[in-house]
A and B are shown apart, each in its own frame.
Chain A
């Protein structure tokens, strides 16, 4: 509050990115394991029967389901983008390329969100 005069405070987008990361982390934790378990493992292995195309189309016919799916996709992709950005920089020592890596990661998340919207709306 009482800063020395002339000290410019750098604005940073990190708080917003972190909120998207955290929100995505919660959403991914709550919904992804059961979806991967059902569609990725149990149904392909024949443990559980695939639902009919009509049933799934019926689910996607509900606008609330589609909206929820878009939110899940966007948040989960931002979560992944944030972690991939930081982990790649820590693992490979690429911190000096942060801007490029960040644009690539978050750009990918935005692209995924756009694809989801175009698919469902």
Chain B
């Protein structure tokens, strides 16, 4: 036994640079957060489309969107935005506590409502984009 233990010698662990790789759930969390990069990309892509439509440059945009690397980016963006939708809509009931008759509405009901709304909104958007009222 050492007798001369320095006062205040508590050991402070260094920052773990690879913390996000230590467990699967940390990695899933980081991937969930990184979907935001593709959310930003999707918005930029939409703005490019809007700009092309309004300036009459739609054929050029169609050619650009058809490039293999562009399709590859958008396939990843689709996966990321869909992952964002699933995780975000599933986590929503954590912040919004709905009380009916004094007791909490179960999370699956709120989640089910969210996902149903997602389907309806998607169908409405697809309808107007593809067909609309002629």
Contacts and interface: CB of A to CB of B under 8 A. Distances in A.
Interface in A48-97: 48, 50-51, 53, 55-60, 69, 72-73, 76-77, 79-84, 86-87, 90-91, 93
Contacts of A51: 129-130
Interface residues of B, number: 53
A84 B41 CA distance: 12
B45 A80 contact: no
A116 interface: yes
B110 interface: no
Interface residues of A, number: 51
Contacts of B107: none
A35 B50 contact: no
A32 interface: yes
Contacts of A26: 88-89, 92
A59 B71 contact: no
Interface string B40-57: 101111110111011010
A10 B102 CA distance: 35
Given A30-B118, A80-B40, A83-B33, A44 B126 contact: no
B117 interface: yes
B17 interface: yes
Contact of A93 (B17, B45, B54, B117): B17
B40 to A, nearest CB: 4
A31 B39 contact: no
B28 to A, nearest CB: 13
Interface of A: 22, 25-26, 28-41, 43-45, 48, 50-51, 53, 55-60, 69, 72-73, 76-77, 79-84, 86-87, 90-91, 93, 112, 115-116, 119-120
9 contacts: A32-B81, A34-B122, A35-B125, A38-B130, A39-B65, A40-B70, A50-B58, A60-B54, A76-B43
